[in-house]
Structures are given as structure tokens and as C-alpha cells.
Amino acid sequence: MYKIIKKKALNPTVTLMEVDAPFVARKAEPGQFIILRVDADGERIPLTIADFDREKGTITIIFQIVGATTEKLNHLNEGDSIHDFVGPLGVASHTEGLKKVAVVGGGVGCAIAYPIAKKIHAQGAEVHSIVGFRNKDLVILEDEFRKASNRYFVMTDDGSYGEKGLVTDALKKLLDAGEKYDEVIAIGPLIMMKFVSKLTKEYGVKTVVSMNPIMIDGTGMCGGCRLTVGGETKFACVDGPDFDGHKVDYDEAMARAAIYKDFERHSYEETCNLFSKEVI
């Protein structure tokens, strides 16, 4: 059992938890993930490691409440325990040798982008962070990103905070202004990563994206997280989650993700009804 040390609501739909998991914290690196089960009968879900503290032996996860399991997880509080918490899994993000990087995060994907920006900045590289949200109320990790960035840009769809527009608008302005990046790292919704990669391909800038499709076993055996990258089948859990953004078949990935939407919504509604009855 893995005890929840800290719980904090970052916005109405996104929650941060710090979990006591010393063996995971000992080996964790930015870009890797864990797979958890809330209880013995629960489903396995992957969550990216948002931060870690080797001395305290804790792992920080940040999740959006979108399905049954994240709803159940969000009902746990400080002092409660998570049944299973396995990791670190996946290949750690490559950060060595980078001198100047643009880190682009969208929505809850910023929770994945932040530890990467933090490590690259700590290694002495220049980091330009561009984050995008639908509106001001959904902005997360602003203070953390500012500390880990030489330049920081916030974009909102409605203009309620930062600058109105998309993350690609800000990135294009920087590229047009002559900024030269060793690498662009984009993490967020598939559609966002698709268009960031399309833009950077025009400018000839290497781009890495983090793919987080449906995962079950986390070892590459089930095949649930398969992707097409450069015409070849890859498995996000063991080959990724980071891939060359210019080679990912985003349309295929989006089509596969859409298959599960109705099941996810039905399961979420059943779970919400269950908790409502327990309250009554």
C-alpha cells in the first residue's frame, strides 16, 4: 500500500498527489511513468511522474478527472493509501547535451512537461516554456514553470490570461524572431502535438513528443499502447513514451483513442452514481 502524503486541487478537474513510494523515487527520472490501481478490484492506469524527491522517498502525480479510476482516485485523501503503484516505467526523457530548448505544454500535459523543463534547466540549458490552456481557471504549475524557465509564455484560448491564441502561435513567433532550438519538446493533447510537429518540421527543428495512449500491462505484452512511428509499430510503454514528433501517425492515434470514449464516459457515470449513493 502506498500512502498519500499530500493532496492538492490544482484546478476544478486536475489534482496533485504526493505519494510515499521510496523504491520508485530512488530510480525515477523525468519522462517516466507509473501504473497504479486504486484498490484490489480496480483497473490499471498509467500516470506520468510529475516530480520526485529521492530524500523523502515520494513521487508526485498529477491527474485529470476524466474516467472512473481517476474519479475513485480523487476520492482518496491525505493519509489514505493506493493499492498498487508500480514504476518507474518507460524510457526516461533524453536531456543530455541540450543547450537551448523550447518546452511546449498543453493542459494537463504541462504536468509531464514540467519535470523535463526542470531537469534541462538544472543542467544549465536555456529553456523557453510555452504553455496553453482553455482559460485562466485551468492554468496549473505557473510558479514551477517560471522557476524552471528562462522565458515563460502563457496562452489561453479565450484570452482570459496571458496571450490569446494557441501554443503554436507563440512558438511560431519565436522561430520567426530567429530563436534557434536544439530541440522542441511538446506534450499535451494529440491534436496539439500534431500541429506543433507540423510547424517545427517546416523550420527543420527536431521535435520530441510524449505519447500516452491506453496502457494495460506496461511491459509491451498486451499491445494496447501500440503506435505507428515512421511506418513501424512501436509500444509507448517500452519504446517510449517519447518519440520523434515528425514520425508519429497522429491521425491513427486519435482514431484509436476515440474508440474508448463511450466506454470511459459510461464507466465514469456509473462511478459518480455510486459515490452519490454512498453520500446519501
Cα distance from N-terminal residue to C-terminal residue, the chain:
29
Would residue 154 count as lying in a domain?
yes
- pLDDT value, residue 224: 75
Q: What range defines the domain where residue 77 resides? A: 2-89
Helix 261-279 with 250-259: angle, nearest 10 deg: 40
* pLDDT of 273 over the 60 cut: no
- pLDDT value, residue 225: 81
Q: Which of 183, 210, 237 is the last residue of a domain?
A: 210
Q: Which of 210, 240, 264 is the last residue of a domain?
A: 210
* pLDDT of 39 over the 90 cut: yes
pLDDT grade, residue 226 (50/70/90)? confident
Please report, for the domain that includes residue 53, its CATH number.
2.40.30.10
* pLDDT of 82 over the 90 cut: yes
Would residue 234 count as lying in a domain?
no
Q: Name residues whose C-beta falls within 8 Å of residue 227's C-beta, 6 or more positions apart in sequence.
A: 211, 213, 233, 234, 235, 236, 240, 243, 248, 249, 252, 253
Q: Name residues whose C-beta falls within 8 Å of residue 39's C-beta, 6 or more positions apart in sequence.
A: 72, 83
Please report, for the domain that includes residue 187, its CATH number.
3.40.50.80
Task: Report the C-alpha gap between 128 and 103 in whole angstroms.
Answer: 6
- pLDDT value, residue 268: 46
Kindly write down the DSSP assignment for every residue of 26-86, as one continuous string: HH--TT-EEEEESSTTPPPEEEEEEEEETTTTEEEEEEE--SHHHHHHHT--TT-EESEEE
* Across 197-214, average pLDDT: 92
pLDDT above 70 covers a percentage of the chain that reads 91
pLDDT grade, residue 259 (50/70/90)? confident
* Across 2-14, average pLDDT: 94
Q: Which of 28, 58, 89 is the last residue of a domain?
A: 89
- pLDDT value, residue 243: 95
* Across 155-179, average pLDDT: 96
Would residue 74 count as lying in a domain?
yes
- pLDDT value, residue 262: 62
Q: Name residues whose C-beta falls within 8 Å of residue 138's C-beta, 6 or more positions apart in sequence.
A: 11, 12, 13, 14, 107
* Across 232-237, average pLDDT: 90
Q: Are residues 51 and 116 in the same domain?
A: no
Q: Are residues 174 and 109 in the same domain?
A: yes
Q: What is the mean pLDDT of the chain?
A: 90
Domains of the chain: total: 2
* Across 14-28, average pLDDT: 96
The pLDDT tens digits for 95-142 are 899 999 999 999 999 998 999 999 999 999 999 999 999 999 999 999
Q: Are residues 85 and 165 in the same domain?
A: no
From residue 40, alpha-carbon distances to 34, 56, 181, 274 in Å are 17, 26, 46, 17
* pLDDT of 266 over the 90 cut: no
Would residue 31 count as lying in a domain?
yes
CA angle (182, 184, 187) in 5-degree steps: 155
pTM value?
0.86
Strands of the sheet containing 45-53, edge to edge, are 81-82, 2-11, 14-20, 58-64, 45-53, 33-37, 84-89
CA angle (99, 102, 105) in 5-degree steps: 145
* Helical H segments across 58-166, by residue range: 68-74, 110-122, 142-147
Q: Are residues 109 and 194 in the same domain?
A: yes
* Across 213-232, average pLDDT: 79
